[in-house]
Structure 1
Amino acid sequence: MLDIAKFDQINPPSRLLMGPGPINADPRVLRAMASQLIGQYDPVMTGYMNQVMELYRGLFNTENRWTMLIDGTSRAGIEAILLSAIRPGDKVLVPVFGRFGHLLCEIARRCRAEVHTIEVPWGDVFTPDQIEDAIKKVKPRLLLTVQGDTSTTMLQPLEQLGEICRRHGVLFYTDATASFGGNALETDAWGLDAASAGLQKCLGGPSGSSPITLSPEFEEIVRRRKCVEEGIRTDEHVDGDDEMIYSNYFDLGMIMDYWGPERLNHHTEATSMLFAARECARLILEEGLDNCIARHELHGAALLAGIQGMGLETFGDLSHKMNNVLGVVIPKDIHGEQVRQMMLNDFSIEIGTSFGPLQGKIWRIGTMGYNARKDCVLQTLTALEAVLNRLGFKSTQGAALQAAWNCYDK
């Protein structure tokens, strides 16, 4: 028999989440999530869905009609876009500068694409010329990019890539999960055909909903495909544009019919997550998107100043760093995981580790969303300096805080 007495009510400890995400959700978002549920076709609910589309057009800087949510984590948005656009045998080009470029490759291969990559060392980004040269060589149907890769903390410039893709007849997609809301993303001006994101970083919400936007050209491509009928599975190639989508849940054509005026049943919308996504967008647009980006830039710069003031080395090309995440090189003779455990256990502050070629070499510290605040930065610097000094890393006491304060004073 199950002993139910051993299962207490959920009561997680209070943590300050200063890693690369997730972060502490804004209390106003949590309050929105606690709202009572309503039916998925209630006019109030469909009204909220329409409002979400309008709000996220403002965040994506787009006029795209199809700007909506995919129910699931950020990866759900990525998969929905790639599964609905890639036909078996399509050539795709992925510029890889961190862990999440490899993720795009993996998903594209599962879509049976012919995947081509170019790579730079972790900590660097690509120039437009490097990407255009690869496009000329590969002649892909799609360019799949990551805007901000938290594994390296780098931000890939996208401004010139849309024009390059247009000249070469290439569809242009970016995964903006880590960067969206804290760094500029100009969907229409930059010529993006599709973009996806998540709530759990700069938007200040929980993981579980993925905002996406699709250009009219991308919509046309999705509409030319069809879902495999229930019970039918075939590997037979379908000639022409009438290609099959081998996913029901991630079929964007069906999801658009659900979000559109037809309201054709596809799934039951995740009501509480929609409330969260709506509040995330509302709060940022109330603050002003440019102001929100500037806030992330300010607190990211203050953290950087404090880390440098402490005498720590930073990782990667700082001219291409995301506003919201910083890579910090773990000092020699310091055990990185011991520092993280002391930060968590003694100060209730979480900072991130890393993986791949950077495993055990850097910490990743985030200043994003609700945690892009002065008090969060100063608390984190104070705790990190205290832990490092206790473990034998010598720094000038208080130098980190003074450097951060000086940054704020400017």
Structure 2
Amino acid sequence: MNPIPAVAPFAEIDPPARLLMGPGPINAHPRVLRAMSAQLLGQFDPEFTGYMNETMALYRQVFQTGNRWTFLVDGTARAGIEAALVSLLEPGDPIVILSAGRFGLLLSEIAERCGAEISVVAAEWGQAIPFSAIEEAVARVKPCVVAAVFGDTSTTIAQPMDGIGRLCARHGALLYVDATATLGGMDVPVDEWGADIVTAGLQKCLAGPSGSAPITISERAAARIDGRRHVEKGIASGGDRPGAGRRIASNYFDLAMLMDYWSERRLNHHTEASTMLYGARECARLVVEEGLERRIARHLLNGQAMARGLEAMGLTLFGDQANKMHNVVGIEIPAGVNGERVRAAMREEFQIEIGSSFGALAGRIWRIGTMGYNCRKDAVLTTLGALEAVLRGEGVDVRSGAAVDAARARYAEG
């Protein structure tokens, strides 16, 4: 038996105080971090179930919905996405997926694992999908579900959602929307859109850490999920309704079981991630205190100031600017510039992180976010000044002070 090698004692975690200005995660708001240091409670303690109820009420305001089923899925944003799709889809179900970036591809990856019949409506990365193409696909396929990403950070483009919910309703389809990167920073009016399930994450505009996925579910979607409920001996609570009794592939991500857990009955499903719930609750409190209108305007202003500064450096913004996300901007890496060396210099010399990209855009663009706690004037100006200095060091012809001056001019406009 080989001896286990000795390991020197590791030091206490002491990460550098970096300014995270990439596409997410971002720096968590200090109030969120304080909330997450609170004492743990038992998951059925009346104090704790009270916090659960408050969290549901708060996220109804954030999602702009009256949906009863508005709660948290324990896990990163992808946990919410997977919970939605595995709970809606059965083998052979037709689904139309709107795909114009990496996270549209993710929807297809998950739907494929569910055994769904996938029809993709695609656009070139950097472009939004025309409504006419969506309309044609839904009429032709007659899907059970239409799935879309509202704000794909891989491309920095926001897919227009107007009319898609009404289109789905006319054709008997449910609409799922991934709002991971936009909730709390762009307008996500769930009821107005007619969306049936919308999921998000904390680590973008909500100013928290990754690890909890807010979700809201319409009554139409809840009825389909409940109709798939599987109980002992294969007898479904839904009787002989279509789909009743078919087993959902996942236990952990079974939304029917999660709805039972978050209902007044509190049927045990898992041990709630107490610390993450404290953080998610505080994220929502911050949104409600600021007000959605003011918060969205703040993200728009800071995003525009960042974009103005980048253009003043002579950099080219990536993609269709008419459909650009408020809170993330893509920049084409200048010819001859080593994009990763620039990112390393930003991180090592200025303690600022900006993002690269992947897939079709790997090595072609940088992505800079202005989200949540980092969506503020000083963070924008500091990032622009640092990037300008690094680019000059790389031999790029950048006029000193131009970027910061342009951003300050945008702030002066109000």
Query: Which bin holds the TM-score, normalised by the shorter protein?
Result: over 0.9
- Aligned partner of 2:171 in structure 1 is 168
CA distance in 1 between partners of 2:232 and 2:377 (Å): 54
CA distance in 1 between partners of 2:412 and 2:6 (Å): 57
Which residue identity lines up with residue 132 of structure 2 in the other structure?
Answer: D
User: After the TM superposition, which of the residue ranges 243-252 and 386-395 deviates more from structure 2?
Assistant: 243-252
CA deviation vs aligned residue, 1:159-206 (integer Å, no higher than 9, x gap): 211111111111111000011111111100110011000000000000
Instruction: Report the Cα offset of residue 227 of structure 1.
Output: 3.5
8 Å contact from structure 1 (residues 92, 114) kept in 2: yes
Partner SS, residue 21 of structure 1: coil
- Aligned partner of 2:217 in structure 1 is 214
Which residue identity lines up with residue 346 of structure 1 in the other structure?
Answer: E
Which residue identity lines up with residue 288 of structure 1 in the other structure?
Answer: G
- Does residue 1:293 correspond to 2:274, yes or no? no
Instruction: Report the Cα offset of residue 2 of structure 1.
Output: 5.6
Residue of structure 2 aligned with 1:384, choices 372, 382, 387 = 387
Instruction: Report the Cα offset of residue 35 of structure 1.
Output: 0.4
Partner SS, residue 213 of structure 1: strand
8 Å contact from structure 2 (residues 150, 178) kept in 1: yes
- Does residue 1:29 correspond to 2:32, yes or no? yes
8 Å contact from structure 2 (residues 126, 318) kept in 1: yes
Instruction: Report the Cα offset of residue 147 of structure 1.
Output: 0.4
Percent sequence identity is 55
- Aligned partner of 2:57 in structure 1 is 54
Which residue identity lines up with residue 106 of structure 1 in the other structure?
Answer: E
- Aligned partner of 2:88 in structure 1 is 85
- Aligned partner of 2:237 in structure 1 is none
Instruction: Report the Cα offset of residue 396 of structure 1.
Output: 1.2
- Does residue 1:274 correspond to 2:277, yes or no? yes
- Does residue 1:202 correspond to 2:236, yes or no? no
Partner SS, residue 190 of structure 2: coil
- Aligned partner of 1:241 in structure 2 is 243
8 Å contact from structure 2 (residues 121, 129) kept in 1: no
8 Å contact from structure 1 (residues 228, 246) kept in 2: no
- Structure 2 residues not aligned, in runs of 5+: 235-239
Residue of structure 2 aligned with 1:106, choices 104, 109, 116 = 109
CA distance in 2 between partners of 1:344 and 1:338 (Å): 10
Residue of structure 2 aligned with 1:308, choices 301, 306, 311 = 311
8 Å contact from structure 1 (residues 227, 247) kept in 2: no
Partner SS, residue 115 of structure 1: strand
- Does residue 1:123 correspond to 2:126, yes or no? yes
CA distance in 1 between partners of 2:300 and 2:192 (Å): 22
What do you get for the CA RMSD once the two structures are aligned? 1.4
8 Å contact from structure 1 (residues 306, 404) kept in 2: yes
TM-score (norm 1): 0.97
8 Å contact from structure 2 (residues 72, 212) kept in 1: yes
TM-score (norm 2): 0.96
8 Å contact from structure 1 (residues 228, 245) kept in 2: no
Instruction: Report the Cα offset of residue 128 of structure 1.
Output: 1.7
- Does residue 1:407 correspond to 2:410, yes or no? yes
Aligned length: 404
- Aligned partner of 1:235 in structure 2 is none
Partner SS, residue 59 of structure 1: helix
CA deviation vs aligned residue, 1:107-140 (integer Å, no higher than 9, x gap): 0011110111011110000122210011112111
8 Å contact from structure 1 (residues 339, 387) kept in 2: yes
Which residue identity lines up with residue 186 of structure 1 in the other structure?
Answer: P
- Aligned partner of 2:367 in structure 1 is 364
- Does residue 1:42 correspond to 2:45, yes or no? yes
8 Å contact from structure 2 (residues 227, 241) kept in 1: no
8 Å contact from structure 1 (residues 143, 171) kept in 2: yes
Instruction: Report the Cα offset of residue 226 of structure 1.
Output: 2.1
- Structure 1 residues not aligned, in runs of 5+: 233-237
Instruction: Report the Cα offset of residue 33 of structure 1.
Output: 0.3
CA deviation vs aligned residue, 1:4-60 (integer Å, no higher than 9, x gap): 543111111110000000000001000000001011001010000000000000000
CA distance in 2 between partners of 1:258 and 1:50 (Å): 12
Partner SS, residue 223 of structure 2: helix
Partner SS, residue 150 of structure 1: coil
CA distance in 1 between partners of 2:228 and 2:393 (Å): 61
- Does residue 1:326 correspond to 2:329, yes or no? yes
CA distance in 1 between partners of 2:241 and 2:295 (Å): 47
8 Å contact from structure 1 (residues 203, 369) kept in 2: yes
- Aligned partner of 1:340 in structure 2 is 343
8 Å contact from structure 1 (residues 74, 197) kept in 2: yes
Residue of structure 1 aligned with 2:67, choices 64, 69, 73 = 64
Residue of structure 2 aligned with 1:263, choices 251, 262, 266 = 266
8 Å contact from structure 1 (residues 147, 158) kept in 2: yes
- Aligned partner of 1:396 in structure 2 is 399
Residue of structure 2 aligned with 1:252, choices 249, 252, 255 = 255
Instruction: Report the Cα offset of residue 247 of structure 1.
Output: 1.3
After TM superposition, the runs of 4+ consecutive aligned structure 1 residues lying more than 6 A away are: none
Instruction: Report the Cα offset of residue 229 of structure 1.
Output: 5.6
